[in-house]
Amino acid sequence: MNQRLMGIGMTSQRTRLRLIQRLREKGISSEKVLDAMCHVPRHIFVDEALASRAYEDTALPIGLGQTISQPFIVARMTEILMQTDSVKKVLEIGTGSGYQTAILASLVEQVYTIERIQSLQSKARQRLRELKLKNVRFKFDDGIMGWPEQAEYDVIIVTAAPTNIPSDLLAQVKMGGRLIIPAGEDGQQTLHLLEKTEEGITQHQLDAVQFVPLLGGTV
C-alpha cells in the first residue's frame, strides 16, 4: 500500500485503531465490519485540508452541500445490513464520497451505487480505483427510482433521507432481503429497517439520525 493510503500522523494506522476502539465502545460488534472500517483509509475520501480529522467520529463536508457520514453511522448501517445471511449483491443510493461504497465493496461480492452529482461520482470512481476495488458498478442518476435493470438486491442502503420511504426501492429488494433507509423531515429523521418476508413487509424504527435530503434530478 502506498504512503498516501497508509497515512501518517493523524491519518496513520494508530489513529485508525483509536477510531475502531471508539466504535466498539459505542456498540459495534461485527468483526467483519470493524476490519473493513480499519482497512479502508477514510482520509482519502475527504479534502486534504480535512484529512487530519478523518478519523474523528463525526460527519465532514465534501462540498456541494454533501457530507461523508459519521463513521459510527456507516458502521451501524453496515452491521445491520450484514446481519442477513449471504449478502452478495447490494444497491447503494447516494455514492457521495465513495467511503460507504468502499466499505461495502470490502464485504460483499457486488455493489451497485447511484449518485446524482456527477463531480462527486467522478471523484468516488477515482478513489475506488486507487483502492483497487473492482466489484463496484456506478450509475449517474437521482436514485429515487433505484436501479431496476439490475434488481433484485439482497440489500438496499440509502445514504440520504427522503420524507417518505420510496416504494420503488422496496420493490427491488429480493424476498428475504432488507432496505435500510433514513426518512423524515429535516431535524426529525429516523433510521428505518424494512424486511421483505413471505408474510409481508416488517418495519423497524432504529436510531434518530441526520442525513442530507434525498433529492431528485441530476447535477
Q: Is 13 within a domain?
A: no
Whole-number Å distance between alpha carbons of 156 and 205: 16
DSSP-assigned letters across all residues of 11-70: GSHHHHHHHHHHHHHTT---HHHHHHHHHS-GGGGS-GGGGGGTTSSS-EEEETTEEEPP
Q: Is 16 within a domain?
A: no
> Residue-wise pLDDT tens for the chain (219 aa)?
566 787 778 888 899 999 999 999 999 999 999 999 999 999 999 999 999 999 999 999 999 989 999 999 999 999 999 987 789 999 999 999 999 999 999 999 999 999 999 999 999 999 999 999 999 999 999 999 999 999 999 999 999 999 999 999 999 999 999 999 999 987 899 999 999 999 999 999 999 999 999 999 999
Task: Determine how β-strand 60-63 pairs with β-strand 110-115.
Answer: unpaired
Closest alpha carbon to 157 in 91, 113, 100, 67: 91
Q: Catalytic: which of 29, 69, 106, 119?
A: 69
Q: Is 31 within a domain?
A: no
Q: Is 29 within a domain?
A: no
Pair 15, 55: CB distance under 8 Å:
yes
Q: Is 35 within a domain?
A: no
Contacts of residue 190, Cβ cutoff 8 Å, sequence gap at least 6: 182, 183, 184, 205, 206, 207, 208, 209
Q: Is 158 within a domain?
A: yes
**Residue 187 pLDDT:** 80
**Residue 186 pLDDT:** 79
**Residue 1 pLDDT:** 55
The answer to whether residue 106 is catalytic is: no
Tally of CB atoms within 10 A around 70: 16
Q: Is 19 within a domain?
A: no
Q: Is 166 within a domain?
A: yes
Whole-number Å distance between alpha carbons of 89 and 124: 19
Q: Which domain holds residue 159?
A: 58-209
**Residue 13 pLDDT:** 87
The total number of structural domains that make up the chain: 1
| pTM of the complete model | 0.95
Whole-number Å distance between alpha carbons of 79 and 81: 6
**Residue 127 pLDDT:** 97
Whole-number Å distance between alpha carbons of 205 and 193: 7
- The CATH number of residue 122's host domain is 3.40.50.150
**Residue 113 pLDDT:** 98
Q: Hey, what's the cell of 98? A: 465513495
